Amino acid sequence: MLQSASAPRGYTLPLSRESFFVPFRRFLYTLAMYLLTPAILYRLAARGLRYREYFERWRERFGYSTAELEESIWIHAVSMGEVNAALPLIDALMTRYAGMKFVVTTVTPTGSERVRRVYGERVVNLYLPYDLPASIARFLDRIRPRLALIMETEIWPNLFFECEARGIPLIIANARLSEKSLRGYSPILPLVQRALAGVSYIAAQSTTDAERFTALGAPAQRLGVIGNLKYDMSVPKNLIEEAATMRDAWGARRPVWIAASTHDGEELAVLKAHAEVLRRFPDALMLLVPRHPERFKPVAQSCRSFGFVTRTRSEDRAASSDTQCFIVDTLGELLNYYAAADAAFVGGSLVPIGGHNVLEPAAFAVPVVVGPYMFNFAEINASLTEAGAVLQVLGGDDLGVAITHLLADAVLRKRIGQAAQAAFERERGSVLRTLAIVEKALGG
């Protein structure tokens, strides 16, 4: 008798039925993936109309590439946020396994561009193929990984099964699972349970994440709370000096705040907030960093329609003393502008996206304001809130009041910023714990 992944806990099915149901479910899942492929390609093409990089390197999404490696260590990070979280771990791995080839896959062009900007030719950067058996097989044949590290929440059954069949240790690093994602896996829950059974280790960010992975069927003996890799992000010392240089060019004494990683539905609230800030501080500068490149131009147009003196990073290179709104329409420079700000609003939190990384401004002791939707960073947000290191507003109408209050009170800014930085420093260490798991998976 064998415990069934599809049966309630404590209920067993004969091995013959279990042996039948998992392949059958995988067949149905794979059939659905093939049927959905035209729709996926259509969506990719539609995005390519706004951001041309989506048109490039299509063959990689089906496992075709020029990569031909004898062996490698493979890290997958879906987009720019996951790439940024993975950077400290990748750096540690490249130091520990200096003789190995490294492959870093992403799904989005922004993630790919971030990888190439940071590592250049030191890693092989590819798009992760769709979860189709033939595509996965071609991909693995080309990169021949000794180890697969999947960042955060990327559970692809065919990929996991193929790694297990080839004896490739697979670790889910910095693993997190929102309540929404947990519900989203419900239609293929038995298949996901079986896929997780072949995972070498799940390094969860928090106790809550570990509990949700347990509910998803992860084996308890290969699941642990390791912490969040984002706390181990490196803070280049030269950024402080560069930030001071930028402030001198803008006007050293003028108030500066940043609205970072904003989404459609948030920018209007941000612009209204800046209008409110300008009534109190007529010389204030707002740095506006849209999350997605396809929003760069529309956001710049919106700023100008509000009557703000607006410049952009791509066209004007830098803000000047009379600039009221500066659009950072480039990738990979967010930390530079966090370091130069007096206060920060972190987007994805006024709309139900779930928020973005509040630790980046915290690392520079910059006080942080967020909206009500922080479910993707619930543990971090709760920790910072408890430490008095973040201000959470109920909606966009409150944003201008919060930012104005921070810009007007230097003592408050310093207290909140120092609390944020202290919380950031206190939680570091996940990279070393994850590296120990990797070493064990690779046999010491």
Tell me which residues are annotated as active site. Answer: 82
**Residue 3: φ, ψ to 5°:** -60, 130
Sign of CA dihedral 302, 56, 107, 185: positive
Rounded CA-CA distance 413/54 in Å is 41
Rounded CA-CA distance 368/357 in Å is 11
Q: How many CA atoms lie within 13 A of 420 on its CB side?
A: 25
Task: For the sheet with 170-175, list strands across it.
Answer: 124-127, 102-106, 72-76, 145-151, 170-175, 201-204, 223-225
Quote the longest CA-to-CA distance of the chain: 75
CA distances to 249, 311, 313, 361 from 318, rounded to whole Å, are: 9, 8, 6, 20
* Angle CA 118–119–122, to nearest 5: 175
**Residue 187: φ, ψ to 5°:** -60, -25
Q: At what angle do helices 189-196 and 207-216 cross, to 10 degrees?
A: 110
DSSP one-letter string for 156-201: -HHHHHHHHHTT--EEEEEE---HHHHHHTGGGHHHHHHHHTT-SE
Rounded CA-CA distance 304/319 in Å is 15
Rounded CA-CA distance 351/252 in Å is 33
Rounded CA-CA distance 56/65 in Å is 12
